[in-house]
Structure 1
Amino acid sequence: MIGPPPTPYPTRSSLAFSQVPGSLPGDVVPKDIDLSIFPSLGQEFLSNLKRHVLSADAIWRDFFALTGQLRTFNGAEQVFSEWDGVLLERDLGEWKMENASVCRMAASISWVDVSFTFSVEKKCGRNGESRNGELRRNCFGIVSFVPDGGGKWKVWMLRTMLENFEGFSHPDDPSAIFSHPVPRSTPSSSEEELEFDVIVIGAGQCGLSLAGRLGALGIEYLLLEKEAEVGRSWTGKYDSVRQHTVREMNNLPFERTYKADDPTLLPAKTVAEGYENYAEKYRINVWLGVRTERCVRKDEGWELNVRLRNETRVLRTKHLALSLGGGASVPNPPFIVGRGHFKDDVLNIGEYKNCHPWKGKKGVVVGSGTGAHDVAQDMLDAGLKAVTMVQRSKTPVYPVDWVVQGQSMMEVDPESVVYNTEIPPSVADRLVSLLPLKIERELMKVNMNGLIAANPERFDALEKVGFRVDREVVLTDSILLRGGGYYVDVGTSKHIAEGDIKIKSGVKIERFTQNGLKFEDGQEIDADLVVFATGYERDIRLQAAGIVGHEIAASLPQARVLTADGEVSGPMTPSAERLWVVRGAVSEARFQSRFIALQIQAALLGKPLPDCQWGGLNGTHKSSS
C-alpha cells in the first residue's frame, strides 16, 4: 500500500474565468432574418478565411480536427493566425454546409449557426506522398455569425472537431463491436501473460465510456474493476444518492442507457442497472474483483501485476488509462480534536448509508454541499428528532428546476430542447459540449443571474434562518474549477427555510464534547450521530499514486486548473507517456472518451497526433503540431 507522498505534489493556482477572453453578443439577429444566405456565406468564408471576416472578439475551439490538439484561440488576430498556419501544412476539403439556424440561448443573446463537415489531410510532397504519413481526418464544425455595426455578417465563433480517421470505424458507431469475436475471458492459467493495446482501471462512467469507444474502434482493451459488480461506484454510496443532472445528459456512449419513463434525476440503483446493461450489451471486456498490486513502465508501455481470485496475473499494455472517480470517491473529513471524548457515532460520507438506526435521536451533518443536504434530508425522513447542518462557508444553491431547464435547452425557444428522448446524445453533445468553456460559462451566468434577480425570495428565505447563500458563483465554476461545494436543490432548501433542519453557520468547530460538538462562540450542539459530508479529496494524483507510484503521479498535471486560453487542464490529453487520467461527470465522460480513443488509435497506427508524439524522458511530449 503506497503511503503519503514524500513531498507535496506541485500545485499552481487556476485562473478565474474573468481572466480569460471571450464575450457574448447581444440580441443582434433580426426576428425576420433570411437564413438561406448563411450556408453559402460559411462556405465562402471558411474555404479561404480572411482577417476582415472575423469579429474582433472571435473565438475558435478545436477538438483535434485542424490542430490535432484541444485548443481554444481568442481574438481575431490569433484565430486568423492559427487558421492560416494550419493551411500552410494541411489541405481542407470536401466542405458540406448544412442549413442555418438562429441560436437564442437567453432573451438578450442571439447569433446564427451553420454546421458543416469537411476533411483535413497533410499536404502532399513532390511525389504525391502525404508528409509525415498523417491520417486523413473527417471532421465536423459549427460556424457562428453576428452582424457588425455596419450590417455586415462576421464570423464570431468557430467550433471544429475530429469525427474519425478516413478508412477506419467511427467512435460513435458501435457496430464494429459486434463484428469482432466476443472479448476474451480471464486466462485459465495464472502463468499466462496477456497483452492489450489499452488497459483501463476503474469501471465507472469514465471507464465504461472509454471501453465502449475503444471497442467501437476495434482496439483491444481490458477494463479492470476492483468491485465485484459494475455500478458499485453508485450503489456503494449512501442509499439516497442520485444524479443531480437530467436523465438525458447521463447516457453512456451510443444509444440511450435509460428508458423514457425512468426518473428525471436517476437514483443510484437505476444508474447501476444502466451500467450493468451497457457492459452486457456492448460486450465490455471487464474483469471484476481485481486489485492492481504493481504497475511499472515496461519498454514502450506498462506491466501490471493484478490480484484476481487469490492469484496474481501479469498483464502488459501499450496504453494505461486511470478512471479512478477523481474528486468523488475518497472522502476528506477535517480533523476535529476530542473525537475520543464523544460517546456516540461519527461517520464520514463514505461510510454513511442511511439514518434508520438513529430514529428519534439527534443528528448533526457537517458540510453544506450536495452530500450534506442529502444526509440532512435523510435524517429528517428517517425521523430523527433534531437535525442540524453545520455550514462552514457560503454555499451556492442552484434550484433543480433551473438546472433542468438549463441542461435541457439550448435556447429560450421552447422548441429548442437539446437533451431529450428524440435527439441522439451524440448530436446534442455537438451543440453543447463544443462550446468554448468561457462562452458556456457566460451563458450560464446570464441565465442564472436573471433567474436569481427574478426570484430572490428563494435565497432570502434561506438567509433568514442563517444559511449563507453565495449568489455570485456560476454553476460552471462550481463544477469545472471547484469540483463541489454547491447544492442543486431537489427539495431540502425548503426544509431548511421552514426550520425543520437547523443551521449553524460561520463559526468553527472547536472540539468534540462527550455529548456533541462545541463551537468557538461557546455554543454546544448535542448529537447522537455526527456525519462529516465535507467533500472529497480533489487531487487525483494521490489516487493515481496508488497505481503508478509517487514519482509518476508527481509528474501528472494538476486537475481543475483553468489555462490562459480557456481550457481546463488534463481531461482529454495524455497525462504522461502512454498514460491517461480520465475523469468527469457522465456527460463529460461520454464526450471526452471519443477523443481519447481516437488519439490512442492514431498512436497505435504509428501516426500519432501531436500530444502523443513522445519526445524525451519521464512522459514529456511535444506540444506543437
Structure 2
Amino acid sequence: LGTEEQPYCLVIGGGQGGIMLGARLRQLGVPTIVIEKNARPGDSWRNRYRTLVLHDPVWYDHLPYIPFPENWPVFTPKDKMGDWLEMYTRVMELNYWVATKCLSASYDEAEKVWAVVVDRVGRQITLKPKHIVFATGAYGPPRRIDLPGADRFKGELLHSSQYASGDKFRGRRVAVIGAASSGHDVCVDLWESGAEVTMIQRSPTTVVKSDTLMEVGFEIFSEDALARGITTEKADMIVASTPFALVPKGQRALYEVIKARDAAFYDRLRAAGFAIDFGDDETGLLMKAYRTGSGYYIDVGASDLIIDGKIGIRSGVAIKSLTPSGILFDDGSELAADAIIACTGYQSMNETVASIVSREVADKVGPCWGLGSGVKGDPGPWQGELRNMWKPTAQEALWFHGGNLALSRFYSKYVALQIKARMEGIETPVYGKPSNSGAADLPPRGGDVDEGDRGGRRA
C-alpha cells in the first residue's frame, strides 16, 4: 500500500490469527494492513511466561502456505513460535505495522466505511477501511475476579497476563488461583524456579494426558496419518465437515476410552485432592473448549507434581477473602502466601470491541465462542454453531477471527474469501440472524473464559 492508499481491510491484532488472515488476504489481492501493538511480530508469544510450550502437535499447527520444516519439534516452545511468526510476516510480505495501537473506530452507515484512529509509534493516523477484523487472540481483556481484602494483602498480586517468570519467587510461598491450562503451567514454572506452590482449584478440571491424546485423539493430525495420505489440509476438511450436533456423541465415546485407559492415573490425581470431571455430559475437553473455553488441561507434567505433592492443591473450598499474609477460605482455614497469581482467564473478544468501538456495538454483536446462534428461540441455520467467529456479525463490516493455530489456519481462508467477495461486489446474502447476546449456551459470565495457553482451543 502506498502512503496515501487506504486499506480495504484492517486487521486489528498481529498475533497468529491476524498474521494468517493477513497472508490469506494478500494472496487474494485484498489491500490489507495488519496492526500489532507489540514491537515485533511474534511478541504475543515471546512475552508470555518462560516455560510456555504448545500442547498441540506440530502436524496440527502448520500455518497456511508454509508448513513447519520436518526437523521442527513436536511441541513448539514459545520463543521458537514467535520467531517463526516473525519470519512468516516477512516471507509472505505482509503490510504489517508494529508498535501500533488501535485507539478508536466508528462506522459510517451511509458511506459504508470505518474511521479508525491508530497510534503508530507515537503518531496518530486515521485509516478508512471498508472492513475491520478483530484478531486480538482467542479471548478479550484479562478477567480479574473480585477478591475481598485485596487491598490489605501485603504480598504481590498478579493476573497471569502479567506473569513472565518464576525466578523472582524463588524460596517464596505462592498461591495460584486457577486449575486450567495456564494455572498448571504457571505452577510448574514456579516449582521449577524453587517456589513453594499451592494451586487453588475453584471448580473441577478436565485433564487428559498428552501422550494419550496424541495416540487416541489426534490420530488424524499425526505422522501415521500423513503416511496414509491424510494431509493437514484433508484433516482440516474432515474435522470442519462434522456438524457440531454430531461432535458430542463422538467425544463421549472417545472419553470413555480415555477414562478406562488412564483410570489409575485419574485415581492417583483424585487421591491427591484434585477434582476431575469430563463435562456435564461426559464429552470431555473439546466440548468444554467450544462451549466455554474453560476448565481443561492437557497434562505435560504438572499432574505428576500434584500427585507427588510437589505442587500443593486446595480444592472444594471457596476463597472468603485475602488477608495481609495470605488467603482465608470459607471453611475457616488459611493459606499463607507471599504472592498470588490469578490464572482467572479472559473476557470475551467483544469486550475489546467495547473499548475500541463502543459499548453499544459490543453488546449488539454479543460474546464470541459458545454454541448457539445468539438469538433465543432462533431455529435458523446458525443455531448450534460457534457464535460470531469467522462469519458476519450483527455489526456490518465487523468480523472476528481467532482461535488456536489450527482453527486460525483453516478459517482464515473463509474469512478472507468472504471479504474478497465483498470487495469484488459479489452477492453475499447472509442467511439466518447474526449473533448477538442472549444465547442459551453462553460461556460463563456472558462470555468470560478461564485461561488456556496462547494456542487457544485444541482438539
- Provide TM-score, normalisation by structure 1: 0.64
Give the structure 1 partner of residue 116 of structure 2: 304
Contact 1:391 1:503 in 2 (8 A): yes
Give the structure 2 partner of residue 202 of structure 1: 13
Task: Give the CA deviation at 1:406.
Answer: 4.3
Contact 2:255 2:283 in 1 (8 A): no
Give the structure 2 partner of residue 481 of structure 1: 291
Distance in 1, Cα, partners of 2:330 & 2:246: 43
Which of 413, 418, 428 is the equivalent residue of 1:609? 428
Q: Which amino acid aligns with 1:195?
A: Q
Distance in 2, Cα, partners of 1:441 & 1:500: 35
Give the structure 2 partner of residue 438 of structure 1: 245
Give the structure 1 partner of residue 135 of structure 2: 323
Contact 2:225 2:231 in 1 (8 A): no
Give the structure 2 partner of residue 574 of structure 1: 392
Confirm or deny that 1:246 pairs with 2:64: no
Q: 1:355 to 1:532 in 2, by over 3 A?
A: same
1:436-482 residue CA offsets vs partner (Å, 9 max, x unmatched): 22334432321221121232111111111111111334222121111
Task: Give the CA deviation at 1:514.
Answer: 2.2
Which of 556, 566, 588 is the equivalent residue of 2:365? 556
The answer to which of 247-256 and 277-286 deviates more is 247-256
Q: Which amino acid aligns with 1:573?
A: K
1:70-118 residue CA offsets vs partner (Å, 9 max, x unmatched): xxxxxxxxxxxxxxxxxxxxxxxxxxxxxxxxxxxxxxxxxxxxxxxxx
Distance in 2, Cα, partners of 1:548 & 1:557: 13
Give matches, 1:249-328, under 5 Å. 249-256=60-67, 258-298=68-108, 299-327=111-139
Q: 1:473 to 1:246 in 2, by over 3 A?
A: same
Give the structure 1 partner of residue 257 of structure 2: 450
Task: Give the CA deviation at 1:423.
Answer: 5.5
Q: Which amino acid aligns with 1:568?
A: L
Confirm or deny that 1:459 pairs with 2:459: no
Q: Which amino acid aligns with 2:398?
A: L
Give matches, 1:209-224, under 5 Å. 209-224=20-35
Give the structure 2 partner of residue 497 of structure 1: 307
Q: 1:209 to 1:217 in 2, by over 3 A?
A: same
Which of 319, 343, 346 is the equivalent residue of 1:509? 319
Give the structure 2 partner of residue 372 of structure 1: 183
Confirm or deny that 1:547 pairs with 2:389: no
Q: 1:402 to 1:442 in 2, by over 3 A?
A: farther
Q: 1:306 to 1:261 in 2, by over 3 A?
A: same
Q: Which amino acid aligns with 2:60?
A: M
Give matches, 1:17-416, under 5 Å. 184=2, 187=3, 192=4, 194-256=5-67, 258-298=68-108, 299-327=111-139, 330-384=141-195, 386-406=196-216, 408-410=218-220
Give the structure 2 partner of residue 148 of structure 1: none
Task: Give the CA deviation at 1:405.
Answer: 2.5
Give the structure 2 partner of residue 33 of structure 1: none
Distance in 2, Cα, partners of 1:521 & 1:613: 50
Distance in 2, Cα, partners of 1:378 & 1:545: 34
Give the structure 1 partner of residue 448 of structure 2: none
Q: Which amino acid aligns with 1:429?
A: D
Contact 2:141 2:349 in 1 (8 A): no
1:293-341 residue CA offsets vs partner (Å, 9 max, x unmatched): 23111311212121113222121111111111142x5321322122232
Distance in 2, Cα, partners of 1:521 & 1:205: 44
Distance in 2, Cα, partners of 1:491 & 1:577: 45
Q: 1:234 to 1:473 in 2, by over 3 A?
A: same
Q: Which amino acid aligns with 1:572?
A: W
Q: 1:240 to 1:416 in 2, by over 3 A?
A: closer
For the residue of structure 2 that corresponds to 1:350, the secondary structure is helix
Task: Give the CA deviation at 1:415.
Answer: 8.4
For the residue of structure 2 that corresponds to 1:588, the secondary structure is helix
1:37-68 residue CA offsets vs partner (Å, 9 max, x unmatched): xxxxxxxxxxxxxxxxxxxxxxxxxxxxxxxx
Q: Which amino acid aligns with 1:561?
A: G
**Count of residues in correspondence between the two structures:** 420
What is the CA RMSD across the aligned residues, in angstroms? 2.4
Q: Which amino acid aligns with 1:266?
A: T
Q: Which amino acid aligns with 1:395?
A: T
Give the structure 2 partner of residue 429 of structure 1: 236
Task: Give the CA deviation at 1:549.
Answer: 1.4
Distance in 2, Cα, partners of 1:431 & 1:496: 37
Distance in 1, Cα, partners of 2:156 & 2:367: 36
Give the structure 1 partner of residue 225 of structure 2: 417
For the residue of structure 2 that corresponds to 1:196, the secondary structure is coil
Which of 318, 324, 336 is the equivalent residue of 1:526? 336
Higher Rg = 1
Contact 1:330 1:350 in 2 (8 A): no
Gaps of 5+ in 1: 1-182, 619-625
For the residue of structure 2 that corresponds to 1:480, the secondary structure is helix
Q: Which amino acid aligns with 1:309?
A: V
Task: Give the CA deviation at 1:207.
Answer: 0.8
Q: Which amino acid aligns with 2:367?
A: Q
For the residue of structure 1 that corresponds to 2:129, the secondary structure is strand
Q: 1:211 to 1:382 in 2, by over 3 A?
A: same
Q: 1:311 to 1:551 in 2, by over 3 A?
A: same
Distance in 2, Cα, partners of 1:421 & 1:349: 41
1:163-209 residue CA offsets vs partner (Å, 9 max, x unmatched): xxxxxxxxxxxxxxxxxxxx54xx3xxxx5x3121111101121111
Q: Relative contact order (C-alpha < 8 Å, sep 6+): which is higher? A: 2
- Provide TM-score, normalisation by structure 2: 0.86
The answer to which of 206-215 and 544-553 deviates more is 544-553
For the residue of structure 2 that corresponds to 1:390, the secondary structure is strand
Task: Give the CA deviation at 1:356.
Answer: 1.1
Distance in 2, Cα, partners of 1:218 & 1:614: 30
Gaps of 5+ in 2: 373-378, 437-459
Higher strand fraction (1 or 2): 1
Distance in 2, Cα, partners of 1:294 & 1:390: 38
Q: 1:296 to 1:340 in 2, by over 3 A?
A: closer
